Amino acid sequence: MSQKSKTALLTRSLGRVSFQSKQLPVSEGFRTLRTNIQFSTGSREMKTIVVTSSRSGDGKTTTSSNLAIVIAQQGKKVLLIDADMRKPSLHTIYHIPNRKGLSTILAGQQVLEDCINQTDIPRLDLLTSGPIPPNPTELLGFEEMDELIEGTKKLYDFIIIDTPPLLVVSDAQILLNKCESSLLIFKSGKTSKQDAKKSVLLMKKSEAKFLGVSLNQNKEKKLKDAYYYTSEE
């Protein structure tokens, strides 16, 4: 098996770990993240959550997918959106074709209803990225993206949006200003202090409420603490 195939297999496995291995400490970590997010919002209605990171490889897609799973396991109807139209991967995690999706909707080629995919996880649907477009940043800024978000809020209890890394392209910043909340993913031993500071500053400048930071793969603690949540007021 090639290294690329091994990486893809690992991504698929970790992206669904909360569903496939509910008893693992890391699965409990995602449930703790869910609980802390719910506590942080209190009685305020919050349906849209943007998940991003400083750089690629920090675990934002793994967190997005598992967070969507554990919220669905609570009995909520959840839509997971792959808004990383540069390097999409959620369709591989759920073994769903990516011939149509967010990019074709925003380009006016499809309608939302024709692009929603049911997953094998109860109450969890997926909107894939669609074919990689030449102008992803421009597409996300279209009025059609605002309409899509508002439309999905009428159909789902929660919408989790996976975006490209914050410090690489401006796609995530566009979505931060369109959604109600945001979560930043750091990877222990990888995310530099400089990148962390820049990312937090950008998040706080956005109109969306910055929920906090999730530290991924913290080797100084036990596996059960690999994902945790800190509130940023």
**How many other CB atoms are there within 10 angstroms of residue 15's CB atom?**
24
Give the whole-angstrom CA distance, residue 213 versus residue 124: 24
If you average pLDDT over every residue of the chain, what do you get?
85
pLDDT average, residue stretch 81-86: 97
Predicted structure pTM score? 0.87
Half-sphere exposure for 215 (CA within 13 Å, toward CB):
19
The tens digit of pLDDT for each residue in 98-146 reads 999 999 999 999 999 999 999 999 999 999 999 999 999 999 999 999 9
CB 145 within 8 A of CB 151: no
Give the whole-angstrom CA distance, residue 24 versus residue 47: 27
Residue 199: strand, helix, or coil: helix
Confidence of residue 42 (pLDDT cuts 50, 70, 90): low
Report pLDDT for 96. Answer: 96
The tens digit of pLDDT for each residue in 178-222 reads 999 999 999 988 899 999 999 998 888 877 788 888 887 655 444
The torsion angle over the Cα atoms of residues 105, 102, 97 and 127, rounded to 10 degrees, is: -110
Report pLDDT for 27. Answer: 79
Which residue is associated with the tokens 């500053």?
201
CATH of the domain at 113: 3.40.50.300
Total domain count, the chain: 1
pLDDT average, residue stretch 80-84: 98
The tens digit of pLDDT for each residue in 155-173 reads 999 999 999 999 999 999 9
Ranges 12-16, 19-23, 229-233: which has the least confidence = 229-233
177 φ/ψ angles, rounded to the nearest 5 degrees: -80, -5
Query: Which structural domain range is residue 129 located in?
Result: 3-231
**How many other CB atoms are there within 10 angstroms of residue 111's CB atom?**
12
Whether 4 shows a pLDDT value over 90: the answer reads: no
Residue 65: strand, helix, or coil: helix
Q: What is the DSSP letter of 185?
A: E
